[in-house]
Amino acid sequence: MEQDIIIKIIELLGTFAFAISGIRHAAAKQFDWFGGYVCGIAVAIGGGTIRDLMLSTTPFWMTTPIYMICTAVALLTVVWFGKWMEPLKNAWFVFDTLGLALFTIAGIQKSLLFGQPYWIAIIMGCITGAAGGVIRDVLLNNEPVIFHKEIYAIASVLGGLAYWALNVFDLQVEWCAVTSFIVTCVIRFLAVKYHISLPVLREKK
């Protein structure tokens, strides 16, 4: 029961962080409020929906309206405070990174609750954290961020591996979650700061 509560809290925090990220991207494309809400909800619940369908369970957002309400709050936050947040351009990147880390943890924990092995849980964590961003980028007609630029999905995978490594030593789930969160965020921040990316595939002619 305690772990289930932790997952709910993490999913709500991740929903808010990702929703703000998606709404801000929509604002950059000058979408209207409804379009912004759709982009926010797509990035906030997209990855978790794919995860839950793969786990053969009801998608998490269909069990309570709180996630829809949370996205609406995120929309109003951007509408009301966007002018003050605009100079803080890095704030949007931070929200996206926080959402990635939080949803990675939620994906791992929920998969473990369903009896999945750790290698599946890590994949599910990555899907939960990164798939919503892919859906957002498709809606915005952008190239998905996980396919280019700095490390993104790999940060989620490494955060998942950190979660697994601590669990091997029988540490409490809270410590596993905090460590995974820190690892995912730090790797993502460093990758952007120092322009670290994976090698690019090039067609040989």
What is the residue-wise DSSP string for 66-100? Answer: HHHHHHHHHHHHHHHHHHHHTT-THHHHHHHHHHH
Cβ(10)–Cβ(177) below 8 Å: yes
Q: Which of 139, 140, 28, 43 is nearest to 78 (CA)?
A: 28
User: Measured between alpha carbons, how far is residue 191 from residues 40, 52, 200 in Å?
Assistant: 25, 29, 15
Query: What mean pLDDT do residues 94-121 have?
Result: 92
pLDDT tens digits for 142-189? 888 888 766 899 999 999 999 999 998 888 888 999 999 999 999 999
Q: What is the pLDDT of residue 36?
A: 95
Question: Could you tell me which residue, 203 or 36, shows the higher pLDDT?
Answer: 36
pLDDT at 202: 81
Q: Over range 199-203, report the average pLDDT.
A: 81
pLDDT at 1 over 60: no
Residue type, 78: V
Q: What is the pLDDT of residue 118?
A: 95
Radius of gyration of the chain (CA): 17
Q: How far apart are CA 158 and CA 181, in angstroms?
A: 10
Mean pLDDT score of the chain: 89
Residues 6+ apart with CB under 8 A from 133: 18, 21, 43, 47, 96, 100, 144, 145, 146, 152
User: Taking 60 as the threshold, does the pLDDT of residue 14 lie above it?
Assistant: yes
Distances in whole angstroms, Cα of residue 7 to Cα of each of 81, 140, 141, 150: 28, 29, 32, 28
Would you state the pLDDT for residue 162?
A: 97
Q: Quote the pTM value.
A: 0.89
Distance CA 169, CA 9 (A): 25
Q: Is the pLDDT of residue 3 over 70?
A: no
Residue 186: how many CB atoms within 10 A of its CB? 15
Model confidence pLDDT, tens digit, residues 114-134: 999 999 999 999 999 999 989
> Is the Cβ–Cβ distance between 105 and 17 less than 8 Å?
no
Summarize pLDDT for 57-77 with one digit per residue, the tens. 999 999 999 999 999 999 999
Tell me what pLDDT residue 203 has: 77
By percentage, how much of the chain surpasses pLDDT 90? 59
